[in-house]
Structure 1
Amino acid sequence: MHFSPLIDQLMDSLRCLPGVGPKTAQRMALHLLERDRVGAERLAQAMLKAVELVGHCEKCRNLSESPICRLCESSHRDESLLCVVEMPADVLAIEQTGSYRGHYFVLMGHLSPIEGIGPEQLGIAQLLSRVRNSAVEEIIIATNPTVEGEATAHYIVEQMRALPVKVSRIAHGVPLGGELEYVDGGTLVHALSGRRSLR
């Protein structure tokens, strides 16, 4: 069944969101139109404003409304640490732990020749320039533990060889509260190879 062209267009537009299929898009569209028109207007205005005003931080490439984001501007961050992540969501995840006080560099993806994503798209030249021209002493590579994430991490390590900085990789392994019998083989391999001494 088809609704009016505008409703179909709304449902089709909502499908651009990750995890939203035809049924979910239909439920969302009908909810907004039937029960929450004020919320729909607020959502539309917020989306238009964000699309118009949110860009990328000139230093770390994270999403930001200003040329330099609040994390890069903060004088309370440790200038000697630079954590390299794939996406803005990774910055949020690390920040929510409350355990990291350094700076970030957001690649906005990972190396993927099939998708046409190379070092230029990831801002590797900008990353190298930042390391050369700042007080960074350690680069923490926090790309995802996927084939593409590992390839990206390896490429960054190779590019950093000539620079006088320590390069580390976040540990991957068995999650806290996890049981070994349910952990996949690849995760166990990472856990065993990344083991640390207890004494």
Structure 2
Amino acid sequence: MADRVAGPEIERLIQLLARLPGLGPRSARRAALHLMRKREDLLGPLADAMALARERIVTCSACGNIDTIDPCTICCDVRRDATTLVVVETVADLWALERAAVVRGRYHVLGGVLSPLDGVGPDDLNLAGLVDRVSGAGLSEIILAVNATVDGQTTAHYVTDLLAHLDLKVTRLAHGVPVGGELDYLDEGTLAAAMRSRTAF
């Protein structure tokens, strides 16, 4: 076992950084060194921002988004189309759609997908909240914006069955060839989905 090269505070910082997605032990060590070299410009303000975030961030009781107000900024936006509800797996998916500026409706975050192998069942997701929102609102369309994975599609089918008794249009995102994609580099599943979802030219 290698000797510790830094004090316990620095080792703790490295260990915590290594728990972030996309950062392993080596990347965490580099990030920690960079933060320490830029203590005044970066480490101090980052620590302050994280403390403030920990204190003020809440989960929106309406949709499941993360914000500093409840209901969140999106739910409070009166310019949004209140007749369309976009169902996403995670807050990261919601933010991705917002960055693309393709949604003018409201959102509902499930908090994951059904995954029997991982022990995630219907009670572990925000499905009851979805049924409550859909039953009580003047919605005309539910857009299932879940990932094109096996678990994502299983979840989409479950949600569709859950809402089948309501007079609502339930749609899902199209799957297939991405913009700028070359057929030679795509996997067979993507090509098959693209062929099934083909449209008139």
Q: Deviations over 1:64-115 (max 9, x none)?
A: 2111011111111111110001111211211122232111001121112233
> What amino acid is aligned across from residue 170 of structure 1 in structure 2?
L
**What's the counterpart of residue 177 of structure 1?**
180
SS of 1:14 mapped into structure 2:
helix
1:28-39, aligned counterparts within 5 Å?
A: 28-39=31-42
TM (norm. structure 2) is 0.93
Partner of 1:12: 15
Distance 1:46 1:56 in 2: 18
Of residues 24, 43, 53, the one that matches 2:27 is: 24
Backbone CA RMSD of aligned residues: 1.3
Counterparts of 1:180 and 1:70 in 2: how far apart (Å)?
Answer: 40
List 4+ stretches of structure 1 deviating above 6 A. Answer: none
Cα offsets for 1:112-148 (capped at 9, x unmatched): 2233322222110110110010011100001001111
Q: What is the rounded CA distance, in whole Å, between the counterparts of 1:34 and 1:95 in structure 2?
A: 35
Aligned AA (2:45): R
* Shift in Å, 1:28: 1.2
TM-score (norm 1): 0.94
Q: Which moved more, 1:23-32 or 1:37-46?
A: 37-46
Secondary structure in 1 matching 2:83: strand
1:41 to 27, 41, 44: 44
- Overall identity of the aligned pairs, in %: 43
| Greater alpha carbon shift after TM alignment, 35-44 vs 69-78 | 35-44
- Which of 45, 54, 63 is the equivalent residue of 2:66? 63
Residue of structure 2 in register with 1:117 after alignment: 120
Aligned residues: 198
What amino acid sits opposite 1:180 in the alignment?
L
Aligned with residue 140 of structure 1, among 124, 143, 153 = 143
**1: CA distance between counterparts of 2:98 and 2:81?**
14
Q: Which runs of 5+ in 1 are unaligned?
A: none
2:85 equivalent among 73, 82, 86: 82
Q: Distance in 2 between matches of 1:194 and 1:160?
A: 23
The residue aligned with 2:130 is 127
